[in-house]
Structure 1
């Protein structure tokens, strides 16, 4: 048993009240959760059965891990106490415990209570692609409705959003607002609240929008004050700068102080006037050719202050009256938008209900409807069902509580006992799922309201700060960095001593740096990702070659590739693949999690073109791609000649004409295309793809290319996607192609296959989000200077869940567009929220490292970047939030923090370093030279071909299987497969459309019903009563009502008027649907088969419709329902089949077959087989 810390012990043993555990990275929260559960199950004084606990996680993987760990811990307890029946009972009950994701828990509730929701019990869960297309359809429908309505408010909304091009921005905003609303327990109330600011009568400086802008202005001014302090210090350090710039610096400082004073208490218009009249004076003139670092700093900072004041002044460019006019003008537009969002939600739900499929957001809302009601005052109350859950669960344990949203939090309240039995675990510093509507403020508000736990003071909080994952050098440098960067304003939590990670992992001393910061740059050429990737490859090889040892559960061992993980913020646009390729070039195997670029891969692009041509060959672009592909091997010259012959017609017509003129290559192509088109009309999409791969050899071609295993895996993945498409209830190649087209039009992609196992000895490359919950001995943070996504700031509308929605305004008179006060405020709030999450993402990335943390970034001119960043660092420990907000990448943040590390002092270029104390060392280095990748062998350097090997390859490739004639022959056949005259329905649809079938059944089904009637007809009855016999067969379940209805009774009655029926009735022996099985030589069945295959035995098995004994022998009667047929056609079509039946029946019964008769229901008479 591990030795639990004091705080862990509190979290495990606390009972009878609500506890929130704030668990730092690597603090063993999962182990604590498991042990708490085990202790609850072990306790015989206050017994708690496993099925009376609700344990909620946020991923299926976490759920599986939790179940496994609880089960193993319980087994361990049973081994220690083998006579404890209570523990054994809990082990039996454990499979019935409610350990699941919140989605799964809600799904169970909905499945059990579907009858109260007016939904079908067999609903499905939509995948992301299905949901995206359904959302597109709903958005199109709501836009059509709005265009038909053509209200002035909607016209202005389109004028603002569409900009005369298309309305995709508007539909995107509608979808975004709807998705955001679904994270709340009451979406309609939330949506109405988004336009509440339009109704505010408060002065602008007290209204949320105005307050946000003023606070931003205060941050900007504080940033300018810091730069002023840096200028003052520089003037003190350089006598000439002090003499020449001193007066100007003082005037700049006074101007900034004036702005700060007004911002702190002025009205909107007073602040506006201050900015409009603010002048940042020049500093003065230095002696000619005089230069110093201090002089450069002062000039740069004065310019930065002037720019900063100018940009901030733009936020206050309109007076309060002008802003009020804008707000009033846009109010009906915002109301129309919210109306459109609500209508979109209604239409989308209709589409989902029609398809009988929902997403998990819908499922959670269904569960909420079952559990929670709302009174007229808007106050929530529990339903009887919710109360039953509250009575049932002794405790509710929620993991990753920092990622819950309002809807989920309300669900936890509903099934708890007023939250008195709620045990929640989380870390707000690791809340990184804002794009999934996570609301860390729920965790924060709960944590801030609670006191530390001390023996029963419920509700309370417990903080787990010990880190059992990382070396002290990693944790100390994480603390060093985030104590400067993370605050309540930036990151949502003040990273102080209470938030510090406390190293508690047991590691031996090491001789390598535990934290490293590398800047790749200062080279003769521009530095790109490929250069950075090459440095990382060099570093990995260097560490492996250096024999670094890592800790594992068995002690220590040499580091291998699987101990490395490269983390990046985003892997889009082939970034991860670029790093993987560079590693591969350096003989380092790599695994990319969630690979993108599926549609862009050559093999998939080739298949999509072939699918499109199969569906519709008169498409020049995909047809040309197919023809030029290795599958068909046309050359550009050949295609040019085809085009010259027919300049104005589609390429397909050119090929047809060439084939008719004797071009064999074109004829072969058309023959193959005809095959594929016939198959596509009859096979499900996934089976068609398999056939297409087989008949064109495209999979073999892809496998022979470079990275063949990856390409082959991608082709298999395409089949999987086609199978999922078919499973969704949709059918056919055309529909699947449209499905893919719509995904591509949305600029979306599908996940590529992984050709390397995740468990292999490979370097893992993944996004930071994907790494959440994982840990690696060596973590390398890459692509750190990728710019933050500020797309929302450039859009014409801005949305924030707390500040609402607002737009730019288009002034048609002045022919201009400008951001309104609401748009500016919401844009600022959105940027702050986004940057806060980016900071938490960086924290997650850095805390994945166990033994070694390596941060790598790149700049063309590192010294220039460092000088710029040094100028923003003051003596205060916390870096100003505004300084972080104005930076564009994680790399800038890292450098801002690590520049104040004592080991970074050499990078202050003669300036007095502004450093902070640090407990652990770190390696800080600029890399100005990167090795070349390991060189591949060129064609010129390759060895000569081995003649013996060539001969063996030739022998194998030219080998012909001696029994190839049998490869197309089945070992077991039915006589019915031997229809002659070339009549075959193998590749043709056999069902008529329902509107052409009188009974709703197709001819094949009707024929089956006829055969069943003849099989069960009772010849012993006194009269041939067809109608009565049908009623009997339905009653005895020999026929279904639909089959009975489909029978053509007049034709049946005509059979019993025929002499053949009388002969059957008189017979002493009657056989019906008699199974016969015999073995025949292949040569007897297929006269033209090769001589060496003729003696092979083939099993013939079938069923004789009817045979009766007459004059000592058997007569076969074969029923046929073929329509529009004559005697000779029947004989020729079925002669071979019936001859086999004659032979087989004789062999099986030992009786002589003396005759065979075909009875045609269409002709109403018998046809003798000659």
Structure 2
């Protein structure tokens, strides 16, 4: 590329510096801005001597006008040359060009107004009764203290001493982090938008393919986060609990997934069964399906020693009654001794009474042994068949036995379950020593049904993908020289010890109907009809603003001064300079990141953020009201600690920002100079909603009441009918899906590729192979080996008729037609073929030399010899024949458009001026006239193949029967 050195400039640079968000990869927006400032605006024609021109492409063909106006409104105020390294002027603004049709309105036919941009602010502080309150905290990550104060407020009643104001939902909200509260709000808002409310139908979005509005789907929604680590999994969990399918690519969390931990525990037990924690986890998991009471009874079978010893003892038939008696005695003793702790003889208490509570029986010692400990192995309630922990549906059929094991006299049933598990364990351990690890993993998944079981749990597709990813990792590990179960487990342990966790396996494609959760950086270049931007109250990262030595690309080193005598260190002037320059560059980067996030939305933009004390934050934001122009005061812009410190002051200046101004007015800090008319009257529309702990709790409680009742998982596991109202629409869909049959099933069971010989037999009613032979049995595979291997031929004294025919065809294919073809001449060439290893001596002995010589002495043979330069022999072809022609019994609507691939070999083709002469050799010993009728279909297909492929007619076709020395014209 050049800039005018040896010709006109031909370098094109295209980009949007407002979307340069990779400073952490050392991207420098200043390089682009230098060119942007150096080039003159494009005037419509090249200017002589100009170094270059700048063409502004400001048209936006993605977003609705409401989104475009809101983005322009915000960044006119917050993106300045000082704060954002770029002035958001007319050239930088977005220009609406998408041309969305008007939104469908109500019954009156009037179009609906443009939807506003929503700003949801979660206030961590509940106002005091007098409205003043004592705000604490500032803009930034929400602090749950406000929720704790609200949950604990209220006057106790003197009569009963109970706290009437204590709301369980508020107490629950007080224990949640900011992102968890935001996730619950987002889930509720998604439900409203997708399902609609009593007074509002579902949101309509424009479908570019359909060129029409349609109801919003989950796949139209994306949730963007500035920092995804530790947040995506929270959002996915909350959305899944709300019944909203969601997907987010997580960089960590694979080894913490319940199904992965359970299966790794099983692999650890296969390696060494004398590991109490993994063994108890497996027994308590759905793979075996034992309850905590069952684990306690196992421990009572052998109070001392490892849990595996107790398992073997409990599985022994002679110990069955002793286990029951010991369990009953221990439970009775514990109830009498500590009724509160034992709670009526619970298995946890019983385990505590044993001399060696062992990992399996202590609530804190072993994952999977008790309801508390089980969380380590099955945090999602995997030990039961459902989130409620019902022990109903066990994949290996142990459900009933595990339930009955807790009843009086049920020890024999428990013994059967344990015996079956020990038998399986021994067999799996044997397999692990003899087979590759991946085969062992797959066989266990199939035998236990665990892969299918987790597929029925919430987030089943993701859980199955995680288990399949574990299988794939085992298969990759099998390729190493040092392999095996022990080394694989050590490899996994090293990954966990080094905190080298892996992301969960991708389980969904682009077409899945799920809400997508991703970081803002991953969303760059993408677009979604509805975008939630969450975590706007999270503080900006200051990781690169601390340390003993700071670096800057222009200012150089910024060290701290260390005084070894006084044992002090303090920042130098250079340190302050580098730190401030880095901080300003980080703020400019965060502005660009925010710009990228807001411009991903096509139709709806919803902003969500948490503030520990919104009232106090608004008092700081109110300083923006006195700004004379569009831009916010630089002191306000440069002191921002989160995105809300930019969005809040900007929206407060809009006419729709009244809720924020009201909070500031309560502190007496609003109204200084009034609103700027130009800013307040901006055409953008905003819907500001402030959520206090009480109002958020009411919203979530209303959503829970509107949600369908939870299923009785115990009855589901027992395959019993549920007491739920009939859903005719659901029943109709189920009947449609389960009653559906593949319409092309008759075609599937027919061969799609046939040889001419097979087709000949199909059309020949007298052939020994019936037509049904062309219908493939289920699971059958056709063999491509028609002849015996040579080493078998050498041991045989006589060749089969088919093998003799093959030898004759080989000779006819390789004969030199220019040499003598009398019996002696054919014999000489036959001997040469044996020397060239085209034939074995045994095959050569089976060749009828007289029959071949007689053919070339016939008029047809002489004709071929004379025109030998125009002869093609053993001409292979492939032909596509409509399926309706091959399989006439197929329904026309099924066979329409389908073809059968037919392969064949033409023995000889002679080209003459007016067409081809086709010759096919036969070694049949039947009457030629009768045998010729059998090959009518074959010759017809040969004719068709020659005429369609070579484009010339076949004027003559002959069958030459070598045994009877006759040629039959077809």
User: Structure 2 length as normaliser, TM-score?
Assistant: 0.49
The structure with the largest helix share of the pair is 1
Query: Greater Rg, structure 1 or structure 2?
Result: 2
